[in-house]
Amino acid sequence: MGRGLLQFAQSIASFFLSFEVISVPRYNHSIMMRELLRELTAALDQGRDCVYCALVETRGSTPQKAGAAMLVFPDGGQFGTLGGGCVEAEVKQRALRVLGSSESRPEMLTFHLDDNYGWDDGLICGGRMAILADPVIAANGRPKSNSGDYYRRYRELIEKGRGCTEAVILGDQSPEMLAGSRFLFDPEGQLSGQSVGGVLPCIVPENLIPLHRRPQPAVRHGIAYLPILPRITLLIVGGGHVGQAVARLAANVDFDIWVLDDRAAYASRERFPLAQKLLVGDIGSRLQELRVQEITPSTFCIIVTRGHAHDEEALYHLVRSSATYVGMIGSKRKIKLIYEDLLAKGISKEELGRIHAPLGFDIGSQTVSEIAVSIVAELIACRNLGRTISAARRKVPI
């Protein structure tokens, strides 16, 4: 191998090795579930039966992770995907058999991804998948299933954006805990719905992890816990061109948008038509109120004001907030000066160490639109992966 080619290969290897690795992607599937449950409830309203198929447990390498779902209709049509390939085709066949059964009970389907199951890309994953197949009967002369109300409640919780957790019993454990039984918990961990009657088994809520800890899908004591994490609120401090461009992109990828500016003309509905909340007032005072009352771990904050003083004031109030992400735009020199000022005001190096500054991925952005893309890309990574990608960022030393 020539020296130039060797250096190139080493640089590429170094780049990929510098990625922060996590074992289970913390992907955001609330968008997919919202659309799928809208389709399911529409089918119920139209008197169409279907089978709700959900991937509730995975082991090893699989094309989809727990939480993926699809609907199968009597004519063989589908909405959503479990990853394609032979397993998906067999799931559809078995789902239709479940739908045709006189009992119309949910079933658990297990697949070992060996040579018998190839995927659309021709690869053999080698893992294991457990899939719930639940027949949803609209009526049409047959006994109406009880799950219709359950799915409507599930959709209501997801539409509100505050998150929820579904607990699925993987195997028969007792008369109260049969395979395929499901329990739905609201953001506070209170039971909000169940697919079967009877008393809630104590073991189910005992192993529930609060949503504010942003848990991953997991199996505990034979119960699959499938969290839909709260939708992230993006607080944009500064209603200028960059804030406006970021808001437009972020709203399209399912962030709730809040905008704060001290000028009413900038934090306006005309400039931010997709924002859920527009805040006008002194930046320091408003952020102090928000930090105490409304900023949570489900809040991301970006500071893109029109000047150094406003940026510093905003960061002073946000650095100790409970927001999961705090980022600030600016040159290395400006960021260094602000850090020095905040250190002098008692903010610690450890506190500043969690700040994303300059925020966004280093993609050579030149225009406002490109800057917005770099910022939103990092926001998506932090939401879906649970962290940023260090190799794609520039960081100012403290």
Residues of the chain with pLDDT under 70: 1-29, 114-126, 139-146
Q: Domains, the chain, ranges and CATH?
A: 30-228 (no CATH), 233-392 (3.40.50.720)
- Contacts of residue 247, defined as CB under 8 A and 6 or more positions apart, other chains included, come to 234, 236, 257, 259, 272, 274, 275
pLDDT of residue 230: 87
pLDDT at 62: 76
* Residue 83, pLDDT score: 80
Q: How far is the C-alpha of 332 from the C-alpha of 353, rounded, in Å?
A: 15
Q: What is the pLDDT of residue 396?
A: 81
Residue with the two structure tokens 């105490």 = 292
Residue 141 confidence (pLDDT): 47
Instruction: Reply yes or no: is the peptide bond before residue 358 cis, omega within 30 of 0.
Output: yes
Identify the pLDDT of residue 139. 65
Q: In this structure, what token pair is assigned to residue 197?
A: 């009657």
Backbone angles phi, psi at 173, to 5 degrees: -120, -30
CA–CA separation, 278 vs 275, rounded Å? 7
For residue 26, the model assigns a pLDDT of 39
Q: Which pTM value belongs to this model? A: 0.72
Is residue 355 a contact partner of residue 319, using CB atoms and an 8 Å limit?
yes
The pLDDT tens digits for 374-396 are: 999 999 999 988 889 988 888 78
The residue assigned the tokens 């085709």 is 89
Q: Residue 219: which of 198, 204, 231 has the closest Cα? A: 204
Q: Specify whether the CB–CB gap between 71 and 182 falls below 8 A.
A: no
The span from the CA of 393 to the CA of 398, in Å, is 15
Please report which helix (H) or strand (E) contains residue 130, including its range: strand 128-136
Three-state secondary-structure class, residue 233: strand
